[in-house]
Structure formats: structure tokens, C-alpha cells
Amino acid sequence: LAKIKPHPRWASFSPDMEANTRWRHEIIRQLRTAFQANLLQVWYQPQVHLQTNEVSGVEALLRWPGEVGFIQSPSVFIPLAEYSGLIVEMGDWVLDEACRAYQELQHLPNAPKRVAVNISMPQFRTGTLSKSVNQSLLKYKLAPNVLELEITESIAMDEPEIVRSCLSALRTIGVDISIDDFGTGYSSLGQLHALPIDSLKIDKSFVDDIDEEKSGLYVELIIGLAQRLGLSTVAEGVETKTQAHRLKELGCTIAQGYYYAKPMPLHELKRWLEARANAI
């Protein structure tokens, strides 16, 4: 429970802890019902290679349509799904859904090379994550290297033994691993070195202020570190042309953000890819 960051608005919802707990359980109940009724969706956000301008991949992001207000935000309902354990089942579903979507995308002109899926700590603890990954890859006849799993820097460092052995198993299968929100956690270089990873995702907060001396320096350092370790870099939350230019200049590999496209349902993504293929 301590790991759940209270949303700023939870506090104003009720100052009473008990009411707050009841409220959380109510949201979890609603989320479970929505999941079982097959009402959740997976949306996709393009990732663009900065040198070639190709769509290198898409990130799968869970959506709870129909919900209103801040509950709709994955940053609010994902922590509740993690707390309740529901994320294990939901996460398997997202993984399978993303593989199914990729099977549809792979033959389009301008097809992305991979699909990235976010993974939470409880999914590592089950010990069956690599089995789920294998099952979905087999089901849709996908090569393992089309799948990339994103784990946040903080969970990667939380229970390093569990995470490391699980990542090694996944690496053996051949899926790529990236560290999400890099720069916001507390990795030591030694721990980072011990993880079998392929790329670092530079957190949006650094990209936001890339024009400021300090953030710019951090972005430069992260890219330099990644290059020295043989890892690629993905910048998150790129919203302006200026940011994209600066990132390219600094040698960042891939950019993702509203400047290119917002997350969208699969049918919209297909149209987006098509329009882009025609424009080139």
C-alpha cells in the first residue's frame, strides 16, 4: 500500500482514511468489472527513429474508456490494479492484445518494427511472465524481437534479484527490455550494469526542460551513458520540433510524444501509418 502514490485529488476526495480506502476498493471493483466485461482497450503511440524518420515502434497503453475524470488516467488506475493484484491478469491481456495488434500491423507499408508493452512488479513476482510472453508470441507467430518490455527504473531496482532473473529468462527468449522513466528512479550504475537491457527511455521531465542548461546536461549524460553501454535511447514526451531537433543533435535514437502522435486505437494507428507511408 505504501508504494501507491496518492493522487493529489485523492486527498481532497475525503480527508477520512477509511472513506479513502472504501473509495479505492470501489474503483478496483469497477475496474475488475470493466475488465471482465471486456471494456478495456489498448491504444498505441508511435515511436519515431530520429535519424531516418521511420516509425520504429509503437507503445501499447491501457485505456479505460467511458470512465470520467481523473480515474480515467492510467497513472491513477494502474497503481490500484497493482495494489489489488488485478494487474497480473490485465497485464497478460495487454501483452496478448499487443501481440495480436502487431500481427495485423506487421504487413502494412511503413510497419513499425516492434511493439512495446509496460510490465508491473506483480507480474514479475508471479514467476510466469516468460510463459505468458512465449504463449502470446506463439499464438500470433511473432518473432521474439518484435516485442519490447518496458519496466520502470524504480521497479527494476526494487527487488533486483527477482527482476534480474526474470529479465534474463526473457532475454533468452529474445525479447527486448527497456528501462522506462529513466532518470527519475534511483539506479546505481552497478545495478544498471547487472541488468540485461537494450534501451533507456529518457523521462519526459528531462525532455520538457531540455533547453535549460541542467536538464539538457542530464539528457546529454544519459545518451552518453547509453552509447557507452551499447544501449539505444528513447525520449518520452517530445512535444515540440525544437525538442526533437535537440535530441537528434545529442544522438538520441528514438523519439515518442505528442509532436509525432498521441496514443490512439488500433484502427486509427493503421490510418496514421498509411497516411505517413503515402506522404513519404
* Residue ranges in contact with Mg ion by CB under 5 A: 118, 150, 180-181, 236
199 within 8 A of 178, measured Cβ to Cβ: yes
**With CB cut-offs between 5 and 8 Å by kind, which of ligand C2E, Mg ion, none does residue 91 bind?**
ligand C2E
Asked if 73 touches ligand C2E (CB under 6 A), the answer is: yes
For position 179 contacting ligand C2E by CB under 6 A, the verdict is no
Rounded to a whole number of angstroms, the minimum distance from the CB of residue 3 to ligand C2E is 13
Span of 27-35, 69-77, 106-114, 209-217 interacting with ligand C2E by CB under 6 A:
69-77
Q: Does 46 bind ligand C2E (CB under 6 A)?
A: no
Is 181 a binding residue for ligand C2E by CB under 6 A? The answer is yes
13 or 70: CB nearest ligand C2E:
70
Identity of the residue, 136 or 256, whose beta carbon is nearer to Mg ion in the bound complex:
256
Place of cell 499487443: 98
What x-and-dash track marks residues 115-154 binding ligand C2E by CB under 6 A? ---xxx-----------------------------x----
> Cell numbers of 164, please?
534480474
User: Considering Cα of 63, then 79, then 234, then 168, what sign does the dihedral take?
Assistant: negative
Q: Which of 226, 231, 257 is nearest to 244 (CA)?
A: 257
Positive or negative CA dihedral for 133, 138, 144, 150? negative
Pair 61, 118: CB distance under 8 Å: yes
Between residues 109 and 127, which has the closer beta carbon with respect to ligand C2E? Answer: 127
Q: Which does 198 bind (CB under 5 to 8 A by kind): Mg ion, ligand C2E, none?
A: none
Determine contact, residues 114/148, Cβ cutoff 8 Å.
Answer: yes
The answer to whether residue 96 forms part of the interface with ligand C2E (CB under 6 A) is no
Given a contact cutoff of 8 angstroms between Cβ atoms, the answer to whether 250 and 223 are in contact is: yes
Is residue 94 a contact point for ligand C2E (CB under 6 A)? yes
Shortest distance (Å) from residue 204 CB to Mg ion? 5
List own/partner pairs for 193-198 with CB under 8 A and 24 or more apart: 193/229, 194/160, 194/164, 195/156, 195/163, 195/164, 195/167, 196/164, 196/167, 196/168, 196/171, 197/167, 197/231, 198/148, 198/231, 198/232
Q: Does 237 bind ligand C2E (CB under 6 A)?
A: yes
CA 156 vs CA 54, 79, 102, 121, 169: distances in Å: 29, 16, 26, 8, 15
Q: Which of 137, 235, 263, 269 binds ligand C2E (CB under 6 A)?
A: 263
Q: Which residues bind ligand C2E (CB under 6 A)?
A: 45, 61-62, 73-75, 78, 91, 94, 118-120, 150, 180-181, 236-239, 256-258, 263
